[in-house]
């Protein structure tokens, strides 16, 4: 015993399927609180992107695990950096999301990324978004939110996000890809997409981003 107790860093976990509004809400809440932000989906997206550029298959377990050990990711104001270089929007396409969903099914990959994700919990606090933030990565999070939205609304949001980034998207194809991705994420054996038992569920279908942010801030303030 050193007599020094580890400082408990408050973690707000925001999970949910694709298009539920997690990213926008999490970054806004993190800014309001002045806390760090962890976009866990970006880690799987960057890993899948790196695998593609290095010719490592999405089912090559040892190859992917080796890549997780070389991942030097940083989230900066101007975007995600890999080994100091801005990755840019290549990881934001729906195809990149689908590849990320494939590599994220592998238990060894998830295990290898666990400690790094947890190390992001630094004072004064962390807002983390993903699929298993409240259920697996940060089970002690002081506040857990699970956002949902109707499939039409999710597809519409993703459509607008992708169009804003200048991507050419077909709404019918997107609707299908998102449904398949969510199904894959929700039915995998490890860390499936599902609310933690103590998560607050918020259906964002009929809410705009500001309303969801206010709702999440209410839950945070109740607990802080
Ligand atoms: O949140 P996103 O759309 O950027 O995530 C891309 C994929 O990464 C998602 O379909 C599944 C995977 N993912 C995951 O398995 N666990 C997380 N905590 C975050 C994302």
Average pLDDT, the chain: 94
Is the model's pLDDT at 8 over the cut of 80? yes
pLDDT tens digits for range 169-197: 999 999 999 999 999 999 999 999 999 99
Q: How far is CA 67 from CA 29, 52, 96, 145, 159, in A?
A: 31, 11, 17, 31, 31
**Per-residue confidence (pLDDT) for residue 2, from 0 to 100:** 46
Is the model's pLDDT at 90 over the cut of 60? yes
Is the Cβ atom of 45 under 6 angstroms away from ligand 1?
yes
Tell me how far the alpha carbon of residue 179 lies from the centroid of ligand 1, in angstroms: 14
This prediction's pTM: 0.95
Strand pairing partners for 13? 128, 144
Q: Are 144 and 198 in contact (CB under 8 A)?
A: yes
Confidence of residue 167 (pLDDT cuts 50, 70, 90): very high
Is the Cβ atom of 44 under 6 angstroms away from ligand 1?
yes
Tell me how far the alpha carbon of residue 72 lies from the centroid of ligand 1, in angstroms: 18
Tell me how far the alpha carbon of residue 158 lies from the centroid of ligand 1, in angstroms: 14
């Amino acid at each position: 015993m050193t007599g020094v107790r580890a400082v408990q860093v408050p973690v707000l976990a925001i999970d949910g399927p694709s298009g539920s509004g997690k990213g926008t809400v999490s970054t806004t809440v993190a800014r309001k609180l002045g806390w760090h932000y962890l976009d866990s989906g970006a880690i799987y997206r960057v890993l899948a992107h790196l695998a593609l550029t290095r010719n490592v298959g999405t089912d090559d377990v040892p190859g992917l695990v080796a890549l997780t050990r070389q991942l030097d990711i940083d989230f900066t104001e101007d975007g995600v950096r890999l080994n100091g270089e801005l990755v840019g929007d290549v990881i934001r396409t729906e195809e990149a999301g689908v590849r990320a969903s494939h590599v994220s099914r592998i238990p060894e990959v998830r295990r290898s990324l666990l400690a790094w994700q947890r190390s992001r919990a630094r004072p004064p606090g962390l807002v983390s978004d993903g699929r298993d933030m409240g259920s697996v990565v940060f089970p002690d999070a002081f506040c857990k939110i699970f956002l949902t939205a109707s499939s039409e609304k999710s597809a519409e949001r993703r459509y607008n996000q992708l169009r804003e980034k200048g991507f050419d998207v077909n709404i019918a194809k997107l609707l299908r890809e998102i449904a398949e991705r969510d199904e894959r994420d929700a039915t995998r054996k490890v860390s499936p997409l599902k609310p933690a038992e103590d998560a607050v569920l918020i259906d964002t279908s009929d809410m705009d981003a500001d309303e969801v942010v206010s709702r999440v801030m209410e839950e945070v303030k109740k607990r802080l």
